[in-house]
Amino acid sequence: MKYAIVESGGKQYRAVEGEAIQVDRLPVPAGEDVKLEKVLLLVDGENVTVGMPTVKDMNVFAKVAEHFKGPKVVIFKYSPKKRIRVKTGHRQNYTRLQVEQIGSIKVAKIEEPAEITQPVLIEEPLVTVEAPAKEKAAKTPAARKEKAPAETKATRPATVRAANNGGTPVRDGKTSKATAEKKATKPAKTSKAAAEKKATKAAKTPAAKKATKTTKTTTASKTRKTEKK
């Protein structure tokens, strides 16, 4: 077994490789390395070396693991005759060191490369999914609805025919009584209206106006002659 007695902060500690020691707080952040140079005693199996006062060319290499506080200590001052009673508490700050190596020079540890395991490829059978066959029967020309042949003028029956004078349609040459009466009454009305329109037009023409004026003058002259007589 190999160990050393190390001094830190005026106190002595027993440092063993691979173990941790608690020392007074050191001004070193966590995670960094620390070298303890004050080695007072070194024991390596049966070989024991005592320092005078320290062992020459011997160091202890450690790593700061964490900083923490110790348990609370209650301090109570009491003097009965002076009626003095003072109660206080204290928690000491510590640093935990992980001892890595004891020796003159720190030997870097060569880490063996981790075995690289190649991933095993598992071949899975390919699954082919066939698309469902589309029903082509619905799209065949036989399944389509047969369109009726277009009606031509020759094949279309003469069911609807227009009346001569813009009257109501006649179906298959058969007319009702009402339509016959309408046809009979329409020409008479139109003849009267046409005659009246012609008479009014003739009255409004300039020849008619001149004839009316001459008749008025002749009647006026006749009345004057009769008055003279």
Strand residue runs (E) in the chain: 2-8, 11-16, 20-24, 33-36, 39-44, 47-50, 59-79, 84-103, 160-161, 170-171
What residues have CB less than 8 Å from 6, skipping those under 6 apart? 12, 13, 14, 15, 21, 36, 38, 39, 40, 60
Q: Give the DSSP H or E segment for 201.
A: helix 177-204
Mean pLDDT over 97-115 rounds to 79
More confident: 81 or 159 = 81
Please compute the mean of the pLDDT values over residues 181-210 and round it to a whole number.
62
Contact 10, 38 (CB under 8 A): no
Give the residue from 155, 19, 154 showing the smallest Cα distance to 96.
Answer: 19
The predicted pLDDT at position 117 comes to: 73
Q: What is the pLDDT of residue 116?
A: 72
pLDDT in tens, 163-192: 445 555 545 444 556 565 666 555 444 566
pLDDT digit string, tens, across residues 18-69: 999 999 999 999 999 999 999 999 998 889 999 999 999 899 999 999 999 9
Strand, coil or helix: 209: helix
Report the Cα–Cα distance between both ends of the chain, in Å, rounded: 187
On whether the CB atoms of residues 96 and 54 are closer than 8 A, the answer is no
